[in-house]
């Protein structure tokens, strides 16, 4: 079960593609307490609990994060083996003292960064337009000293798509081992963009192979996730998006959404399942169904078992329907599956077994995966 608490809608940045409506709202301890009760009521005893702190910029309210962690760990049903905490920051706020506190509370840190300065400063800027790249790069270097497996998330847009191989080089040069590439789901993607995908992913695939051969493998989300499902013969049901059923997001107001990407302006209307103060049993159901693809093309597609056509928020932004994949996701999934298949064949011939991939669970969440890695 995955629970994301957007504890504040404040942010010190003004990223051009931001989908959060910024204001001064901060989650109250009373709302947080209702959410903690909901988490323990809603999670079946055999399931793990992923709790993510999100924003806005969550580290602006680190004191509140500490309070919520104390509420969770002080709960009568708390079991340290079942609960994982994480937070994702824009990378402008970091200190050794903060890192020690994160470690003390076992909170996994992720940083968002779009890549080298030219790409980072294209979208991720301070409200006055000032560049963020220098401070974020420095903070990634410092954070890696505390969290060597820290994931770094890069968002790419139509204007920066062709630079993805450069993003990989940049992060590898900084020593990042967990690289997550996410397309901007709210951007307008063209057929010309889709047509470029195969060549770009193949270039990334060659870098992936080089990292392996050099004995310094990097986890690159779009490739590793597909290697895992190819080896396993498809996604497990629990790995698919379970928004509104196994996954909930909470706005500072206490409004409940199926996914943090759908909070938007928190108008309490679109996508909203209710307010936590009403009690969890009063929440509306979610129309998303990962097992059901409306799209006729998907139903008969040979790649269906390996495809993320079930991602409800990505689908909604592309087609207006949680259950219908759009053309960019389709093209991206096809290119990623093909690239991963080629890598498996090539590295398989060279004697790499990928047994670590078979043992791993990279799609359950960034948090779960890094939690596993950190414990090793």
Figure out which of the listed residues 1, 15, 172, 174 binds ligand SF4, where binding follows CB under 6 A.
Answer: 15
b/e 132-156 (16+ beta carbons within 10 angstroms → b): bbebbbebbeebbeebebbbbbbbb
26 near ligand SF4, rule: CB under 6 A? no
Footprint (CB under 6 A) of ligand SF4, residues 53-112: 55-57, 90
Q: DSSP of 48-72, one letter per residue?
A: -EEEEEESS-GGGGHHHHHHHHHHH
Q: In whole angstroms, how close is the CB of 295 to ligand SF4 at the nearest point?
A: 6
Question: Is the CB of 167 or the CB of 329 nearer to ligand SF4?
Answer: 329
Beta strand pairing call for 83-89 and 49-54: parallel
Binding mask 293-332 for ligand SF4 (x = CB under 6 A): ----xx--x-xx--x-x---------------x---xx--
Binding mask 251-290 for ligand SF4 (x = CB under 6 A): ----------------------------------------
Q: What's the Cα-to-Cα distance from 33 to each of 70, 75, 148, rounded to whole Å? A: 10, 10, 32
- Smallest distance from the beta carbon of 307 to ligand SF4, in angstroms? 3
Cα–Cα dist 43/1, whole Å: 6
Pairwise CA distance, residues 263 & 251, whole Å: 7
Cβ closest to ligand SF4, residue 39 vs residue 197: 197
Q: Does 333 bind ligand SF4 (CB under 6 A)?
A: yes
| CA nearest to 200, candidates 312, 308, 328 | 328
Cβ proximity to ligand SF4, 284 vs 297, nearer residue:
297
Number of residues that bind ligand SF4 (CB under 6 A): 22
Q: Which is nearer to ligand SF4, 215 or 320 (CB)?
A: 320
Using CB under 6 A as the binding rule, whether residue 13 contacts ligand SF4 is answered as yes
Using rule CB under 6 A, residue 164 touches ligand SF4 = no
Query: At a CB cut-off of 8 Å and minimum separation 6, what does 142 contact?
Result: 94, 96, 99
Shortest Å distance, C-beta 127 to ligand SF4: 9
Least CB distance to ligand SF4 at residue 306 (A)? 8
Q: Does residue number 246 form part of the binding site for ligand SF4 (CB under 6 A)? A: no
**From CA 320, how far away is CA 305, in angstroms rounded?**
23
Query: Taking phi first (over 0 means left), then psi (-120 to 50 degrees means alpha), and beta for anything else, what does residue 264 get?
Result: left
Q: Does residue 14 bind ligand SF4 (CB under 6 A)? A: yes
| CA 334 – CA 322 distance, rounded (Å) | 20
Give the residue ranges of DSSP H helices in the chain: 29-42, 62-73, 96-104, 117-123, 133-146, 164-174, 191-213, 221-232, 296-299, 312-319, 327-349, 355-359, 366-375
In the complex, minimum distance from the CB of residue 325 to ligand SF4, in angstroms, rounded to a whole number: 4
**Which residue of 18, 26, 99, 144 would you call a contact of ligand SF4, by CB under 6 A?**
18
Residues that bind ligand SF4 in the complex, under the rule CB under 6 A: 11, 13-15, 18, 20, 55-57, 90, 297-298, 301, 303-304, 307, 309, 325, 329-330, 333-334
């Amino acid at each position: 079960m995955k629970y994301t608490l957007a504890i504040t809608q404040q942010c010190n940045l003004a990223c051009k593609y931001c989908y959060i409506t910024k204001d001064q709202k901060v989650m109250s301890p009373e709302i947080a307490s209702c959410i903690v009760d909901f988490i323990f009521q809603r999670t079946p005893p055999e399931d793990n609990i992923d709790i993510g702190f999100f924003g806005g910029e969550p580290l602006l309210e680190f004191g509140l994060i500490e309070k919520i962690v104390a509420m969770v760990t002080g709960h009568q049903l708390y079991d340290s083996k079942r609960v994982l905490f994480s937070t994702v920051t824009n990378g402008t706020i970091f200190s050794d003292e903060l890192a020690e506190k994160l470690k003390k509370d076992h909170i996994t840190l992720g940083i968002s960064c779009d890549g080298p300065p030219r790409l980072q400063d294209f979208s991720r800027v301070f409200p006055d337009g000032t560049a963020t790249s220098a401070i974020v790069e420095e903070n990634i270097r410092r954070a890696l000293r505390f969290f060597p497996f820290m994931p770094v998330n890069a968002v790419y847009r139509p204007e920066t798509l062709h630079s993805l191989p450069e993003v990989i080089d940049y992060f590898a040069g900084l020593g990042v081992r967990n690289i997550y590439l996410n397309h901007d789901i709210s951007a307008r993607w063209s057929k010309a963009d889709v047509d470029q995908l195969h060549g770009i992913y193949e270039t990334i695939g060659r870098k992936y192979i080089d990292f392996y051969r050099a004995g310094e493998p990097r986890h690159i989300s779009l490739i590793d996730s597909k290697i895992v499902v190819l080896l396993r013969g498809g996604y497990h049901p629990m790995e698919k998006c379970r928004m509104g059923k196994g996954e909930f997001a909470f706005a500072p107001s206490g409004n409940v959404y199926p996914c943090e990407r759908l909070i938007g302006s928190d108008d309490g209307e679109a996508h909203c399942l209710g307010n936590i103060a009403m009690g969890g049993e009063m929440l509306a159901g979610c129309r998303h169904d990962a097992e059901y693809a409306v799209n006729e093309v998907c139903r008969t597609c040979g790649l269906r078992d390996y495809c993320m056509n079930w991602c409800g928020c990505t689908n909604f932004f592309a087609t207006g329907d949680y259950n219908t994949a759009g053309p960019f996701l389709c093209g991206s999934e096809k290119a990623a599956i093909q690239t991963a298949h080629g890598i498996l064949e090539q590295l398989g011939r060279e004697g790499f077994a990928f047994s670590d991939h078979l043992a791993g669970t990279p799609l359950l969440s960034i948090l779960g995966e890094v939690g596993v890695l950190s414990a090793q």
